[in-house]
A and B are shown apart, each in its own frame.
Chain A
């Protein structure tokens, strides 16, 4: 196996006495699409925050292309190509959709001139299907469109690793199909994707490998379909008691 693109070594992040992320070690290889699942409050978003410099790991190391980036600030992560979308979308509300994406191209994607950044932004908007809304203020978009805007903004930042934090939450099933299609297209460009997801349908259909987080710790890792049947995983989601019933019902 070649050197991993992104590597976490025993990363812990505590808030007060609580360990939101507890000794997580993981690696992402170039071009992979990996799922990160786990029940609510498992620490998935905190983990992404640690990778992107929003929080600094209390202990442990984050390495990107072999370089220690544990102490980086978010803007540095963005410039390195460690890009993410937010569970709660974060647009620049009064700017146009185009300029939102242009901001990504200019600062994350290192395009200096405003004109060139807007050109690049147009392509990304075309790609995610938001081109017709380019001149609208971001605040005027629907939730589904805002999620696409987030995606376009991240793409404009020339991501090496794209972390998609619940991009499908709150979308209806047609919108989810659209989003899935987009994720596949992005993966096809060779972007490494870490997909944080609640919807098993999405996880099963696009990821090659799944990491399961529970109480901040990595409890399982493996092929998606195997993970869904893994006892520890079922227990984590349903609780011990229900997991037992579930097993009985399934006749295992």
Chain B
């Protein structure tokens, strides 16, 4: 459940992101696009990783396949928006099929199964040269607008997808689906006993966590105009997305968006200032996160601090 204040802050944040082209340089607009994009990915991951508690590293497989399905469709002359829709549906179908297989696994085995999916997707795409161009990659038709207009357009697109992911999270959180997924996270056997169709719920959760990753991938391909296996299936992204969600607070509706924003901004700062050491610094942040912020930014003891404050106040009040 989120507070009104949280919702208001999020709305304000979306407005800031959306209006960056009005007051900021290109570099900032680009960063805003990345924030919206990663927010959408982290929010999507949250359904399976946060609500359901299944440590999935398959996000980048969905993203990468989305890139390629969208890119290939566009090259075949399919209009851009339709190509994105096709990518979304294709990735959702792929997730449902693969989910039926790997969701039988638990814990580490599931984590590995999801990593294996990424590897297999990457390998299939890099070796299927006739369709995907293999390691040489593919050119995707670019929008022939003014570069600033293109950036603004994709900023709004990515924000749109982010909002869709946000709404999806909020709905799942309130719906019995979310309740069932949370039961699965806490005790899967007990969930089964209580009447949750755990297999179906997990597959639905996994599919929901994939859908918008496909959209993001396809939109990304249209934005950058060139895709190759290394860029579309980045190993780093495989872990970055869960880390973002953890950073903000997995299993909450606002956490992943907060974590994605914080992570991208930090990453940009380090890229700009410590190019050689940026990976080590990110690593250090991750390690620090595990030890000092295990519940994520949203679960920082604001509340405990407030309660402590209130506790003191009530102690001072006359009995």
Contact = CB atoms under 8 A, between A and B. Distances in A.
A103 B179 contact: yes
B182 A107 contact: no
A109 B194 CA distance: 9
Given A90-B187, A90-B190, A92-B186, A114 B174 contact: yes
Nearest to B189: A90
Contacts of B231: none
A52 B193 CA distance: 8
B193 A84 contact: yes
B187 A74 contact: no
A90 B191 CA distance: 9
Interface string B185-204: 01101111111111000000
Contacts of B192: 73-75, 78
Contacts of B196: 75, 103, 107
Nearest to B175: A114
Interface residues of B, number: 18
Contacts of B106: none
Contact of A103 (B183, B189, B198): B183
A90 B192 CA distance: 11
B308 interface: no
A103 B193 CA distance: 10
Contacts of B174: 114
Nearest to B196: A107
B190 A157 contact: no
B193 A90 contact: yes
Nearest to B192: A74
Nearest to A78: B195
Interface in B160-198: 174, 176, 179-180, 182-183, 186-187, 189-198
A79 B174 CA distance: 22
A112 interface: yes
B186 A94 contact: yes
B187 A104 contact: no
Interface size class of A (residues with CB under 8 A): 20 to 34
Given A73-B192, A114-B174, A107 B180 contact: yes
Contacts of B176: 106-107, 112-114
Which of B190, B192, B195, B197 has the most A CB atoms < 10 Å from its CB? B195
A84 B193 CA distance: 8
B195 A157 contact: yes
A93 interface: yes
A75 B195 contact: yes
A75 B197 contact: yes
B190 A92 contact: yes
Contacts of B190: 90-92
A107 B194 contact: yes
A95 B191 CA distance: 12
A79 B194 CA distance: 8
A90 B174 CA distance: 24
Contacts of B195: 75, 78-79, 104, 107-110, 157
B270 to A, nearest CB: 35
A61 interface: no
B193 A78 contact: yes
A160 interface: no
Contacts of A90: 187, 189-190, 193
A95 B198 contact: no
Given A92-B186, A92-B187, A114-B174, A157 B179 contact: no
Contacts of A113: 176
A153 interface: yes
Contacts of A75: 192-198
A91 B195 CA distance: 14
Contacts of A153: 194
Contacts of B183: 92, 95, 103, 107
Contacts of B197: 73, 75
A114 B179 contact: yes
A118 B174 CA distance: 13
Nearest to A80: B195
Which of A84, A106, A109 has the most B CB atoms < 10 Å from its CB? A106
A160 B213 CA distance: 44
B194 A78 contact: yes
Contacts of A107: 176, 180, 183, 191, 194-196
13 contacts: A73-B197, A74-B192, A75-B194, A75-B196, A90-B189, A92-B183, A92-B186, A95-B182, A103-B179, A107-B176, A108-B195, A114-B179, A157-B194
Top 8 A-B pairs, shortest CB-CB distance: A107-B195, A108-B195, A78-B195, A92-B186, A90-B190, A74-B192, A107-B196, A79-B195
Given A75-B193, A92-B186, 20 more contacts: A73-B192, A74-B189, A78-B194, A86-B193, A90-B190, A90-B193, A92-B183, A92-B187, A95-B186, A103-B183, A103-B191, A104-B195, A106-B176, A107-B194, A107-B196, A108-B195, A109-B195, A112-B176, A114-B176, A157-B194
